[in-house]
């Protein structure tokens, strides 16, 4: 454990991609819907297309173009946008079907090392998501995947999305700590860059298959993060848990 992490009293986790495998899980959930409605697209491609709307959908909130809305609303709007691109007849799709498919974001499988690694870390540190997901969504996802959070932080506390500074700072404030007493754990260099900019410590976890075998971004650490690891269990090893 590096000396710079000696004062850390809370571990905050990015979730989508770092803790859970959204791509395979969304593809699995989408396959019967796509087949049932005759939508000829590979489920993994569909998952990628849906996810590609993630950052653009949040940007309108970040910039104040639209008021705060939780991620579930944005994901539903993005789903309809992607389906429209594939020529879906919305008269043949029920609202209940769309709602059920949108709930796939609360049924994402943890990476194989996630639950055991989080469980080990939680013996020594309080832990929780600092995610763009809503509190309700993170709660449902935790119950689905057995994620042992102590508290849920992130976008809904700040009413803004990462990487806006207040998303990190209001989460830190909510647990009664200074920024340097919180370590952000993420598989995305941009997330860690934004966290470091407001004083948080940083832990990189490589997830080279988050976007599938053709992934080109975030394959390696792009900065001198406080810890660089290949799994959450390795984080636990390095932190003596």
Q: What is the pLDDT of residues 177-212, one digit of tens each?
A: 999 999 999 999 999 999 999 999 999 999 999 999
Secondary structure E strands in the chain:
10-13, 20-21, 109-110, 127-131, 153-154, 182-186, 201-205, 227-229
The last residue of a domain, from among 86, 106, 126: 106
- The predicted-structure confidence for 6-19, as pLDDT tens digits, reads as follows 899 999 999 999 99
Which residue carries 């990476």 as its tokens? 111
pLDDT for res 6: 87
Does residue 197 sit in helix, strand or coil? helix
Q: What is the pLDDT of residues 20-55, one digit of tens each?
A: 999 999 999 999 999 999 999 999 999 999 999 999
The string of DSSP letters for 41-84 reads S-HHHHHHHHHTTHHHHHHHHHTTSS----HHHHHHHHHHHHHH
Helix count and strand count (H, E) for the chain: 11, 8
Domain of 79: which CATH number? 1.10.150.240
Looking at residue 125, what is its pLDDT? 97
Q: Are residues 97 and 190 in the same domain?
A: no
- Quick one: pLDDT at residue 89? 85
The answer on 198 and 83 residing in a single domain is no
Residues 227, 144 share a domain: yes
Mean pLDDT, the chain, whole residue set: 96
pLDDT of residue 3: 66
Phi and psi at residue 12, to the nearest 5°: -105, 130
Do 27 and 64 fall within a single domain? yes
Cβ–Cβ < 8 Å for 235, 185: yes
pLDDT score at 2 = 60
Give the per-residue pLDDT at 90. 86
Q: Which domain holds residue 38?
A: 23-106
Structure tokens that stand for 134 in this block: 């809503």
Provide mean pLDDT across the span 156-160.
97
When divided into structural domains, the chain yields a total of 2
**Residue 92 confidence (pLDDT) above 90:** no
Predicted pLDDT of residue 104? 98
């Amino acid at each position: 454990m590096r000396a710079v992490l000696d004062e850390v009293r809370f571990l905050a986790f990015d979730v989508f991609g770092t803790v859970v495998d959204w791509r395979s899980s969304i593809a699995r959930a989408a396959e019967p819907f796509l087949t049932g409605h005759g939508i000829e697209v590979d489920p993994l491609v569909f998952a990628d297309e849906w996810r590609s709307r993630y950052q653009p959908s949040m940007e309108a909130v970040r910039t104040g173009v639209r008021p705060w809305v939780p991620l579930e609303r944005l994901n539903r709007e993005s789903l309809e946008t992607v389906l429209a691109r594939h020529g879906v007849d919305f008269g043949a799709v029920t609202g209940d079907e769309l709602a059920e498919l949108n709930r796939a974001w609360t049924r994402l499988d943890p990476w194989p090392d996630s639950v055991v690694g989080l469980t080990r870390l939680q013996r020594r540190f309080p832990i929780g998501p600092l995610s763009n997901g809503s509190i309700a969504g993170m709660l449902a996802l935790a119950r689905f995947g057995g994620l042992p959070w102590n508290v849920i932080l992130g976008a809904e506390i700040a009413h803004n999305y990462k990487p806006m500074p207040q998303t990190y700072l209001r989460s830190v404030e909510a647990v009664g700590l200074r920024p340097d007493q919180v370590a952000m754990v993420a598989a995305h260099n941009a997330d860690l860059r934004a966290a470091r900019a407001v004083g948080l410590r940083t832990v990189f976890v490589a997830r080279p298959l988050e976007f599938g075998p053709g992934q080109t971004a975030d394959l390696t650490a792009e900065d001198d993060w406080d810890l660089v690891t290949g799994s959450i269990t390795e984080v636990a090893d390095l932190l003596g848990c």
